[in-house]
Chains A and B, each alone.
Chain A
Amino acid sequence: MTYLTLSITLIFVVIPLVLSKTLNLGLERDTIIATVRSIIQLLLVGFILKFVFDSESLLYIFLMVTLMIVAATHNARNKGASIKGITWKVAITLIFVEVLTQGILIGLNITPPTAQYIISISGMVIGNSMVLSILFLNRFTSEVESHQDETELVLSLGGTPKQAIHNQLINSIKASMIPTIESQKTVGLVQLPGMMSGQIIAGADPIQAVQFQLLIMFLLLTTASVTSVMLGFLSYPTLFNQRMQLIQKS
Chain B
Amino acid sequence: MTTDYKPAIHFNHVDYSINDNQILRGITGSFPEGKITTLVGPSGAGKTTLLKLCNGLLSPESGEIYIKDKQINSFEPVELRRKVGIALQSAPMVSGTVYRNLALPVELRGEKYDKKEAENLLRDVGLGEKFLDRKVTDLSGGQRQKVSIARTLVNKPEILLLDEITSSLDRTSLKEVEELITLINQKYGTTIIWITHNLQQALDIGDFTWVMMDGEVVETGESDLLRAPSNDRVKSFVQGGAQ
Contacts and interface: CB of A to CB of B under 8 A. Distances in A.
Which of A153, A159, A250 has the largest count of B CB atoms less than 10 A from its CB?
A153
B108 to A, nearest CB: 4
B94 A243 contact: no
Interface string A226-250: 0000000000000000011110101
B180 interface: no
B146 interface: no
B92 interface: yes
Nearest to B79: A158
B77 A244 contact: yes
B105 interface: yes
A51 to B, nearest CB: 53
How many interface residues does chain B have, given as a range?
Answer: 20 to 34
B139 interface: no
B105 A158 contact: yes
Contacts of A246: 57
Contact of A158 (B18, B19, B78): B78
Nearest to A157: B105
Contacts of A152: 57, 88, 92
A35 interface: no
A145 interface: no
A95 interface: no
B166 interface: no
A163 interface: yes
Interface in A142-171: 149-150, 152-160, 163, 167
Contacts of B85: 156-157
B19 A245 contact: no
Nearest to A244: B77
B18 A243 contact: no
B155 A153 contact: no
A156 B19 contact: no
A246 B105 CA distance: 18
B39 interface: no
A243 B59 contact: yes
B58 interface: yes
Nearest to B55: A156
A167 to B, nearest CB: 7
B82 interface: yes
B92 A158 contact: no
Contact of A157 (B58, B73, B79, B155): B155
Interface string B70-94: 0001000111011001101010111
B197 interface: no
B156 to A, nearest CB: 12
B56 interface: yes
A160 B77 CA distance: 9
Contact of A149 (B19, B59, B92, B109): B92
A234 B75 CA distance: 27
Contact of A154 (B73, B95, B108): B108
B151 interface: yes
Nearest to A152: B57
B108 A163 contact: yes
B226 interface: no
Given A152-B92, A167-B94, A250 B18 contact: yes
A210 to B, nearest CB: 42
Which of B59, B93, B108 has the largest count of A CB atoms less than 10 A from its CB?
B108
Contacts of A154: 94, 104, 108
Interface in A46-91: none
A60 to B, nearest CB: 49
Which of A154, A155, A158 has the largest count of B CB atoms less than 10 A from its CB?
A158
3 smallest CB-CB distances across A and B, nearest first, come from A149-B92, A244-B77, A158-B82
Interface of A: 149-150, 152-160, 163, 167, 243-246, 248, 250
Interface of B: 18-19, 55-59, 73, 77-79, 81-82, 85-86, 88, 90, 92-95, 104-105, 108-109, 151-152, 155
11 contacts: A150-B92, A152-B92, A153-B92, A153-B94, A155-B77, A156-B85, A157-B108, A158-B82, A158-B105, A158-B155, A250-B18
Given A154-B108, A158-B82, A245-B58, 13 more contacts: A149-B90, A152-B92, A153-B94, A154-B104, A155-B81, A157-B108, A157-B155, A158-B155, A163-B108, A244-B56, A245-B59, A246-B57, A248-B18
